[in-house]
């Protein structure tokens, strides 16, 4: 009698399975819409290479190119066909920047894209002076930004900004215009 009572009060072991099967009845398997686990490593590597190439074509800046920049004093540069007087005018703050770009908190790749977009916008709007703030931080963007700017054909000169426009945390950039 005790055995009969125990079996009647305790549920059979397959009851949990039965309840689960009833709960998921009518549910169908989702089709995977992301990367297939069966994709070959060669295809994945080719896709990553193509993505890097697309990102590289998005901006004209190379990390391998290192122009000669005078290390003494503030950061400055002038293209070979630009007069030294224009660089002096930039240093004095005679040019007022019309567009501003703040690169604080961006990665190098994001900063390149933003800088490229700024230079393109300046060219479209015939802007001859822009301010690019790189900040203090770990000096990574401060070191890279002059190298990128020196490569761009639209850049005539750049100089560390005056205190009014960001001081040693920014650069004033003089650009070619079609005026």
Three-state DSSP string of the chain:
CHHHHHHHHCCCCCHHHHHHHHHCCCCCCCCCCCCCCCCCHHHHHHHHHHHHHHHHHCCCCCCCCCCCCCCCCCCEEECCCCCHHHHHHHHHCCCCCCEEEECCCCCHHHHHHHHHHHHHHHHHCCCCEEEEECCCCCCHHHHHHHHHHHHCCCEEEEEECCHHHCHHHEEEEEECCCC
The pTM of the full predicted model, rounded to 2 decimals, is 0.61
User: Would you say residue 1 has pLDDT above 50?
Assistant: no
Tell me the domains of the chain and their CATH numbers. 36-179 (3.30.1370.110)
- Residue bearing the bigger pLDDT, 45 or 19: 19
User: Would you say residue 77 has pLDDT above 90?
Assistant: no
């Amino acid at each position: 009698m005790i055995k009969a009572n125990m079996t009647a009060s305790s549920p059979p072991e397959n009851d949990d399975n039965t309840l689960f099967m009833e709960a998921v009845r009518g549910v169908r398997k989702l089709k995977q819409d992301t990367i297939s686990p069966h994709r070959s490593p060669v295809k994945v590597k080719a896709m990553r290479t193509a993505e890097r190439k697309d990102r590289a074509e998005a901006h004209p800046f190379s990390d391998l190119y290192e122009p000669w920049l005078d290390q003494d004093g503030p950061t400055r540069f002038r293209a070979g066909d630009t007069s030294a007087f224009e660089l002096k005018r930039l240093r004095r703050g005679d040019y007022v920047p019309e567009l501003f770009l703040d690169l604080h908190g961006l990665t190098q790749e994001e900063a390149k894209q933003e800088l490229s977009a700024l230079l393109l916008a300046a060219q479209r709007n015939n802007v001859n002076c822009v301010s690019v703030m790189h900040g203090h931080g770990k000096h990574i963007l401060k070191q890279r930004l002059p190298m990128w700017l020196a490569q761009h054909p639209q850049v005539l000169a750049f100089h560390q900004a005056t205190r009014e426009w960001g001081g040693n945390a920014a650069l004033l950039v003089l650009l070619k215009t079609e005026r």
